[in-house]
Amino acid sequence: MTKGFLIAGTNSGVGKTTSSMGLMAALKKRGKSVQAFKVGPDYIDPSYHTAICGRESLNLDTYMMGTDGVLDTYLRASSGTDLSIVEGVMGLFDGMDSTEISGAAHVAKTLDVPVFLVVNVHGMSRSTAAMLKGYAEFDKDVKIAGVILNKVGSPRHLELIKGSLDGKIPIVGALPRNVNIAVPERYMGLHMPDESDFDFSELADFVEQNMDIDLILKIAADYEKKRPEPAPHLLHDVDVKIGVAQDKAFCFYYPAMLNALKKAGAELVFFSPAKGELPEADGYYFGSGYPEFCIQELADSPATKKLKKLAADGIPMFGEGAGLSYLCKSYTTDDGTFKMADILPAESEITKKLQGLGYVEAKPLSPSPPFGNKTIRAHEFHYSLTTPEKDAKFGYEMSRGKGISDKKDGLYEYNVMAGYMQMHPGSFPIGDFVEKCR
C-alpha cells in the first residue's frame, strides 16, 4: 500500500515550500517515516527534504523521466515508509511551455495522489472561494483534497474566508504570517542546508499549531491504494571507482544520477577539489555549483593542476555547469581571471545576467561524444558564459535550449565531456560513462 499526497501552490512564492518542509518536519517529529519528492529539476529543495526526513528526496520530472520513470521512482522510494510527500513546482497547472508536461498537476495525475493547494490569502477574503473553485474545476482528473491558507491576517480574516467557501474542499491549514521561518535565498535559489542554521523544529511546531495534521493523514489514508511492486533492479558488480567532486563549487547533483552510477557498478569516492583533494579513480564527475565562491582555492589546488595530465592519459571526466567552467582553461569572476583545469578549449566567466534557463533536448553530433550517443532530455540553469575556441568539438546539437554556443553543448576533448545540460539518468545513458571508466 502506498499513501501520499502532493502539495501545490496557485503560483510560485505562495508558501508551498514552507508548507511541504513544515509537514515533513512535523510528521518526522511525530515519529513517522516520510519519503519526500520534488516535482521538476530542482536541486536545492530536495536537499532540505533530505535533511529533514533523513531519507534521500528524489526528483519527479515527467519531461526528463517520462511518466513511467516518475511512477517507478515514486513506488520504489515510497516502499516501506509511512507517508510520501511530493512538493510541487510553480503553480499547480504550470508545465513546460503551455502544456501540463513536467508540472505538478501532471505528476499528481501520474501518481494518482490527492493535492493540497496552498493559497496566499493576503489582501483577499471571498476571492479565495473564486480562486479555489477555478482550480478545482480546471482539470477534474486532479483531486484537490484540501486547501492550506497562507498569510492569514487574523482570526477575523480566517472567519471571513471560511464563510465564503462552500465546504466541499476542507481547510487543512491556516498559516499566519511569520517572518522567522523564511529560508535565505540568493541568485540560484535557496541557500544549501549546510550553509544556514535554519530551525526545522521551530518550523515543525509552527505547522503543528496551524495545520490539521490528523485531517491531512486521514485524507491521505482515504486515497491510499494498493499498487504493484516494481521489479527489482539488476545491479552490476562493483568493479570501477569514480571520484565525485563535492564542496561549495560542486554541490548540485541529482540523487538519481549518483544512484545510477552505483547501479552500473561504480564505487563513488567524494572529494573536494577546493581543498586540494583528488583520489585515485577510474573517472571523475564534476557537478554544478558555485565555483566563484572558492575560485582562488580552486586555482591554487593541486587537484586542478593534476587533472590535465590525467585527461591526456585517457581518464574519463564528466562535468555539468560549474564542472564545465572548472574543466575549461580559465574562469573569470569579479575578482579576476583564474586558471582552471585547462582541459577543454574554452574560457568561462560568471555574469550578473541569467544566461540559460529551461528544459533542453539535444541530439548527438557526428563524430559521437565520448559517451552518451542518444537524444538527451535535460535542464539548464546558469549565470556563467562559456566561449569556446573555433576548433572546439561538441557532442550535441540542441533542438531545444541554448547550450554552450551556437545551439551546441557537450564540449569535449580526450575522454572528457562537459556542458550546461544538467543530466538525469531518465534519458542520459549514465552506464556509457561508467563503461568508459571501466
Residues 94-131: tens digit of each pLDDT: 999 999 999 999 999 999 999 999 999 999 999 999 99
Residue matched to cell numbers 486515497: 223
Helix (H) or strand (E) segment spanning residue 193: none
Angle subtended by helix axes 104-111 and 62-78, to nearest 10:
40
Residue 233, in any domain of the structure: no
Number of domains in the chain: 2
Q: Are residues 43 and 129 in the same domain?
A: yes
Q: Are residues 209 and 244 in the same domain?
A: no
Q: Are residues 405 and 283 in the same domain?
A: yes
Q: How many CB atoms lie within 10 A of CB 235?
A: 10
Strand partners, 405: 408
Angle subtended by helix axes 44-53 and 16-29, to nearest 10:
20
Helix/strand number for the chain, H first, E second:
13, 22
Task: Single out the residue in 196, 222, 248 at which a domain terminates.
Answer: 222
Confidence of residue 284 (pLDDT cuts 50, 70, 90): very high
Q: Are residues 218 and 281 in the same domain?
A: no
DSSP symbols for 229-290: PPPPPPPPP--EEEEEE-SSSS-B--HHHHHHHHHTTEEEEEE-GGGT-----SEEEE-BS-
pLDDT in tens, 19-39: 999 999 999 999 999 999 999
Residue 261, in any domain of the structure: yes
Quick check: 92 pLDDT over 50? Answer: yes
Residue 231, in any domain of the structure: no
pLDDT in tens, 131-166: 999 999 999 999 999 999 999 999 999 999 999 999
pTM of the model: 0.92
Q: Are residues 174 and 248 in the same domain?
A: no
Quick check: 187 pLDDT over 50? Answer: no
Q: Are residues 151 and 82 in the same domain?
A: yes
Q: Are residues 305 and 364 in the same domain?
A: yes
Residue matched to cell numbers 583528488: 278
Quick check: 10 pLDDT over 50? Answer: yes
Task: Single out the residue in 222, 251, 268 at which a domain terminates.
Answer: 222
Please compute the mean of the pLDDT values over residues 400-406 and round it to a whole number.
94
- Domain of residue 253, residue span: 240-437
Asked if the peptide bond before residue 46 counts as cis, ω within 30 degrees of 0, the response is no
Distance CA 277, CA 279 (A): 6
User: What order do you get walking across the sheet with 416-419 strand by strand?
Assistant: 266-271, 240-245, 283-286, 317-320, 416-419, 408-413, 393-400, 356-364, 376-382
Please compute the mean of the pLDDT values over residues 319-333 and round it to a whole number.
96
Angle subtended by helix axes 255-263 and 430-437, to nearest 10:
50
Q: Are residues 69 and 185 in the same domain?
A: yes
CATH number of residue 69's parent domain:
3.40.50.300
Residue 227, in any domain of the structure: no
CATH number of residue 421's parent domain:
3.40.50.880
